[in-house]
Amino acid sequence: MATLSVTYNHSIIHYTYNKSKSCYVCPNLVASLSVKKSLVFPSKKLHFYAAMVSRSVKEVLPPVLDSSSVPPAIFDGTPKLYISYTCPYAQRAWITRNCKGLQETIKLVPIDLKNRPTWYKEKVYPENKVPSLEHNNKVKGESLDLIRYIDQNFEGPSLFPDDPTKTKHGEELLSFTGSFSKAVTTSLKENRMDEVGAAFDDIESALSKFDDGPFFLGQLSLVDIAYVPFIERYQPFFSEVKNYDITKGRPKLALWIEEMNKIEAYKQTRRDPKEHVESYKRRFLMSSQ
Ligand SMILES: N[C@@H](CCC(=O)N[C@@H](CS)C(=O)NCC(=O)O)C(=O)O
């Protein structure tokens, strides 16, 4: 028996999936639930609702492959997303895959970056980085390209709006992700907390543009997916190491984090904040000691 409670707020569907014995919602059940809810939800949202429900199923994550592991069946026709569980860029592609409800379609292949299998560079992705996606006998990389590719070339709800104003703002925000991370990490290395604050102020003002939901473009989109792995890391690090609350005086950012943390497709990709703090300490603090 599984119970599913759903509430609809800020244009987002919140659901709680309660497992007792059986732990899998079959696609038919998902479909029938979505039909039942058709009277409640605006019809445009139905496909989104169905995908959200299927996304609530907790996935058993595959083991990490290292240099001693047998490679997967490469180019066997199954789309594969090569990731590292700890990489924020890979996390973008992973969240996109989950948000589209593609857990059964795109196989996750996690690899150990510290003990990388040689077949990965030789046979899959010569750049030897994650993420990469094997699809239709080709391998593509670069997280921002991949999230668009997954959104446009697989089934599931669209994660980018077609409203021209939102599209334009979305494009600008996607191209700003690199500058944002660079501003935060450069200012951090040079201990210029006022500049760190200015970078988060930019995020606060970007989140203030649309009022039809708490996300960058109102409703959840690729923009949220592109930023969230980095905010996930910055928030605990700045809090613990710099005693700096990135949400203080930034109510939009505080709400955005709260709402992102309710999304199952993202929750399944999150790491322990302590792990992020330790990793960032090694990366940003060791060299200055
Ligand atoms: N610009 C790339 C960056 C990917 C990237 O740097 N991934 C890291 C892991 S977080 C990696 O694979 N590093 C291995 C290496 O550089 O050799 C993207 O957005 O996908």
What are the pLDDT digits (tens) for 178-222?
999 999 999 999 999 999 999 999 999 999 999 999 999 999 999
What is the model's pLDDT at position 1?
Answer: 38
What is the model's pLDDT at position 22?
Answer: 27
pLDDT band with cut points at 50, 70 and 90 for residue 135: very high
The residues, any chain, with a CB within 8 Å of residue 86's CB and separated by 6 or more, are 113, 271, 275, 279
| 264-280 pLDDT tens trace | 999 999 999 999 999 99
Over range 127-139, report the average pLDDT: 98
Mean pLDDT value across the chain: 85
pLDDT band with cut points at 50, 70 and 90 for residue 48: low
Give long-range contacts, CB 8 A cutoff, 24+ apart: 46-49. 47/156, 47/157, 48/13, 48/157, 49/6, 49/13
pLDDT of residue 130 exceeding 80 = yes
What is the model's pLDDT at position 58?
Answer: 78
- Is 199 in contact with 208 (CB distance < 8 Å)? no
What is the model's pLDDT at position 56?
Answer: 55
| CB of 125 closer than 6 angstroms to any ligand 1 atom | no
pLDDT of residue 289 exceeding 90 = no
Q: What is the atom index within ligand 1 of the atom nearest the CA of 130?
A: 12
| 55-101 pLDDT tens trace | 556 799 999 999 999 999 999 999 999 999 999 999 999 999 999 99
| CB of 143 closer than 6 angstroms to any ligand 1 atom | yes
Q: 33 or 77, which is more confident?
A: 77
DSSP per-residue letters across 264-275: HHHHTT---HHH
131: preceding bond cis by omega (within 30 degrees): yes
Least confident span in 41-45, 128-132, 223-227:
41-45
What is the model's pLDDT at position 38?
Answer: 32
- Residue 266 CA to ligand 1 center (angstroms) comes to 20
| CB of 142 closer than 6 angstroms to any ligand 1 atom | yes
| CB of 228 closer than 6 angstroms to any ligand 1 atom | no
- Is 131 in contact with 122 (CB distance < 8 Å)? no
Mutate to test the pocket of ligand 1, among 85, 87, 177, 282 (most ligand atoms within 8 A of CB): 87
What is the model's pLDDT at position 103?
Answer: 96
Q: 184 or 21, which is more confident?
A: 184
pLDDT of residue 2 exceeding 80 = no
Q: Which residue from 94, 157, 80, 91 is spatially nearest to 125, judged by alpha carbons?
A: 80
Over range 102-122, report the average pLDDT: 97
| Calpha distance 152→258 (Å, rounded) | 28
| 214-250 pLDDT tens trace | 999 999 999 999 999 999 999 999 999 999 999 999 9
- Residue keyed to tokens 């203030």: 208
| CB of 130 closer than 6 angstroms to any ligand 1 atom | yes
Q: What is the atom index within ligand 1 of the atom nearest the CA of 142?
A: 20
Ligand 1, atom 17: closest residue by C-alpha: 129
What is the model's pLDDT at position 165?
Answer: 96
| CB of 89 closer than 6 angstroms to any ligand 1 atom | yes
pLDDT band with cut points at 50, 70 and 90 for residue 287: low
What is the model's pLDDT at position 16?
Answer: 44
The number of residues in the chain equals 289
Q: What is the pTM of this model?
A: 0.84
pLDDT band with cut points at 50, 70 and 90 for residue 24: very low
